[in-house]
Amino acid sequence: MDMRKISVEPKISTENIRKSSLRAGLVLKEHFTDYKYNFETGKQIFLLAKVRGEIDIGKNLSNALYGIVSSKFKSVSMGSNINEIDDVDIYFVPNIKSFTYSPPYTGLSSHSASLELEIEIYGRDGKLQHRINVKQEGSRSVFNQFALKTNYDMACSAVNEAINNALKEFTDKLNEYY
């Protein structure tokens, strides 16, 4: 069974973000923006088929992080390395430490996803100020099929839940520091 590309559509709330007068830089390295997760499983008991697909995480996760950082700080500059960004007070360098997705193996298990995100924050002087690590999960039970949800819909929901939970935790920690 081909799950095709699973859609990553982070939803972020910027309502409770306190604005800072600092100018920020967001360093989005190519391995982050181009991050894709390919999966293929053995034959699934419940689905009687192999399950395979691709989850393009980096592009939309980059956009979501830009949205969070730009709603928090006075101005935001972006680049693929720290040398491309000038005249900022702090730099954010995100990294996907791990991502997993697992379709259900039996009729009673769930679609599940996990994202571990690390964001390093450097001062103007290049010294590491903070390292924020967040790890969150998302899942959708196959019982959602009774609500006429497809496997694809449930996979998308599990992946997006993990990403949204990680972004929310990052936003909360960012508010603690700035």
Domain at 139, CATH number: 3.30.160.150
pTM: 0.86
Q: What pLDDT was estimated at residue 41?
A: 65
Q: Which domain holds residue 163?
A: 2-177
From first to last of its 178 residues, the chain has per-residue pLDDT tens of 445 677 788 887 766 677 899 999 999 999 999 999 987 765 555 555 666 788 999 999 999 999 999 999 999 999 999 889 989 999 999 999 999 998 776 656 788 999 999 999 999 999 999 999 999 999 987 666 666 567 778 888 899 999 999 999 999 999 999 9
Q: What pLDDT was estimated at residue 147?
A: 63
Q: How far is CA 162 from CA 3, 40, 174, in A?
A: 18, 20, 18
Sequence-distant (6+) residues with CB within 8 A of 12 are: 64, 67, 68, 164, 167, 168, 171
Q: What pLDDT was estimated at residue 172?
A: 93
* Domain count of the fold of the chain: 1
Tell me the three state secondary structure of residue 53.
strand
Detail the DSSP E strand segments found in the chain: 2-6, 20-27, 36-40, 52-56, 73-79, 90-102, 110-123, 128-141
